[in-house]
């Protein structure tokens, strides 16, 4: 890797930086698994516009595993002709006309996680194919590849370089589940995102206490399990490179399929709202996974809270730091570009609790106007906040210094 750093190159051209803020969108995996096709993906795009999500910033559709139909006689990757009879380029055109970008998926081995044709040995050719289809993002998985870090870095760097040379700006999402600590090397491999954990399941937390990323593969990663890994990686995130704690479970309510494996039986709306709050302040990519064509009112309210989205998309790009890390309370602080702060108060316990937060103890001097971003109102002025936080709820405050 001597002399090669895509990150440094993109950074020196600040105006062209990919992912100056975390990307937002919708991904096929947790709702459809591999049962995808162009018709349903178009319907999702239509729903993403009609629901106001595109306007709120959700402007990517990410095709996950299951789109591939093998290679043609020149070894070019082709989509499954039954699922995508019009081809991927036509789908990209459809998206672009609506102001939506299109992401696609491959893997750094012979086969993907679900057993479809992958890109090992065809990196340059596949990157050119994606560019010719006007693809805007590649999620690059790691099933079927060797365990060691050196091979992973080599394989991701090879695809990172291939995308860089493809003639199109294609965002690169590294998906090896945090097993080889990609927060140390993903940017140098050309990545703008790196998954930090095993696949998220539609549950609040595992019954066992997972101690490591490896444990999470076994017991299934709930929202809180993922927070416990991703929160401590705050110093690695910043403009152009983000920790990716996987998709939003908001609105899935225990749907069967990938999110339902390993005990993913669903969450309640307080828990989904917590995930939206925590993912927003951790500068995670905000990637919905629910059926956008059929959203109930709480799901819309959670996904479309523009004051919460603004925290995630804040140009300062600083991931919240978890200042209090107890069994009951977690308190996060995230500085914002205009000098405001976000304070998030999470009750991890199974019963409502009364919290008393002294902002000075969090390192925030002075007196603040306090705005509750879920109630959409200013709730007072002062140096502290006291109130009840429901079980698994996250209160989200924006503080403006007076
Ligand atoms: C892996 C990834 C998931 C999804 C599937 C597809 O498990 O981590 O996000 O892409 O593969 O097969």
Residue 107 Cα to ligand 1 midpoint, Å, equals 9
Q: pTM of the entire structure?
A: 0.95
pLDDT category, 210, cuts 50, 70, 90? confident
> Which of 27, 107, 143 to probe ligand 1 with, by most ligand atoms within 8 A of CB?
143
Residues 19/237, Cβ–Cβ less than 8 Å: no
Measure the N-to-C terminal CA separation of the chain; round to a whole number of Å: 49
Residue 139 Cα to ligand 1 midpoint, Å, equals 9
Q: Which residues, judged by CB distance below 6 Å to any ligand atom, belong to the binding site of ligand 1?
A: 29, 64-65, 112-114, 141, 175, 199
Q: What percent of the chain has pLDDT over 90?
A: 93
Give buried/exposed letters for 63-80 (b at 16+ CB in 10 A, else e). bbbbbbeeeeeeeebbbb
How much is the pLDDT for 361?
97
Q: Of 297 and 12, which is predicted with more confidence?
A: 297
What distance in Å separates the CA atoms of residue 6 and residue 164, rounded to the nearest whole number? Answer: 8
What CATH topology corresponds to 2-312?
TIM Barrel (3.20.20)
How much is the pLDDT for 117?
98
Q: Checking phi first, is residue 174 left (phi over 0); if not, alpha (psi -120 to 50) or beta?
A: beta
SS3 label, residue 341: strand
Domain ranges of the chain: 2-312, 321-401
How much is the pLDDT for 2?
35
Atom of ligand 1 nearest to the CA of 112: 12
Lowest-confidence region among 4-8, 317-321, 327-331, 381-385: 4-8
Residue 339 Cα to ligand 1 midpoint, Å, equals 38
Question: What residues are labeled active site?
Answer: 141, 199
Q: What is the mean pLDDT of the chain?
A: 95
What distance in Å separates the CA atoms of residue 220 and residue 157, rounded to the nearest whole number? Answer: 29
What distance in Å separates the CA atoms of residue 32 and residue 316, rounded to the nearest whole number? Answer: 35
How much is the pLDDT for 251?
98
Lowest-confidence region among 12-21, 97-106, 372-381: 12-21
Residue 400 Cα to ligand 1 midpoint, Å, equals 40
Q: Of 3 and 376, which is predicted with more confidence?
A: 376
Is a pLDDT exceeding 80 seen at residue 56?
A: yes
> Which of 30, 32, 64 to probe ligand 1 with, by most ligand atoms within 8 A of CB?
64
State mean pLDDT over 67-96. 98
How much is the pLDDT for 213?
79
Which CATH number among 2.60.260.20, 1.10.540.10, 2.40.30.40, 2.60.40.1180 corresponds to the domain 321-401?
2.60.40.1180
How much is the pLDDT for 16?
59
State mean pLDDT over 260-288. 98
């Amino acid at each position: 890797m001597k002399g090669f750093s895509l990150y440094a190159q993109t950074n020196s051209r600040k105006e062209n930086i990919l992912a100056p803020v975390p990307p937002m969108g919708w991904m096929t995996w947790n709702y459809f698994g591999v049962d995808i096709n162009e018709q349903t993906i178009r319907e999702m795009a239509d729903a993403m516009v009609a629901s106001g999500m595109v306007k709120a910033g959700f402007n990517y559709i990410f095709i996950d595993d299951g789109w591939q139909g093998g290679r043609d006689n020149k070894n070019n990757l082709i989509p499954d002709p039954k699922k995508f009879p019009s081809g991927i380029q036509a789908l990209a055109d459809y998206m672009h006309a609506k102001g939506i970008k299109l992401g696609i998926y491959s893997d750094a081995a012979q086969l993907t996680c679900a057993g479809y044709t992958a890109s090992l040995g065809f990196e340059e050719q596949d990157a050119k194919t994606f560019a010719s289809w006007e693809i805007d993002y590649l999620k690059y998985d790691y099933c079927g590849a060797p365990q060691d870090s050196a091979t992973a870095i080599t394989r991701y760097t090879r695809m990172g370089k291939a995308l860089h040379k493809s003639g199109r700006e294609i965002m690169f999402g590294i998906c090896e589940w945090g097993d080889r600590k990609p927060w140390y090397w993903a940017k140098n491999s050309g990545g703008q995102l790196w998954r930090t954990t095993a696949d998220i399941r539609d549950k609040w937390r595992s019954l066992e206490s997972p101690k490591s990323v490896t444990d999470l593969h076994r017991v299934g990663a709930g929202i809180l399990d993922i927070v416990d890994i991703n929160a401590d990686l705050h110093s690695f995130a910043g403009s152009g490179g983000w920790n990716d704690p996987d998709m939003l479970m908001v609105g899935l309510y225990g749907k069967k399929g990938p999110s339902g494996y390993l005990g993913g039986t669903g969450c309640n709306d307080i828990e989904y709202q917590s995930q939206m709050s925590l993912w927003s302040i951790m500068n995670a990519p905000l990637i919905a996974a629910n059926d956008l064509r059929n959203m109930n009112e709480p799901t819309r309210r959670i996904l479309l809270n523009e004051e919460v989205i603004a925290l995630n998309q804040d140009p300062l790009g600083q991931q919240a730091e978890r200042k209090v890390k107890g069994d009951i309370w977690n308190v996060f602080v995230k500085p914002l570009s205009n000098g405001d702060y976000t304070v998030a108060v999470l009750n991890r316990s199974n019963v409502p609790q009364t919290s008393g937060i002294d902002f000075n103890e969090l390192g925030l001097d002075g007196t603040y106007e306090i705005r509750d971003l879920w109630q959409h109102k200013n709730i007072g002025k002062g140096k502290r906040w006291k109130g009840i936080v429901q079980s698994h709820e996250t209160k989200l405050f924006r503080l403006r210094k007076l």
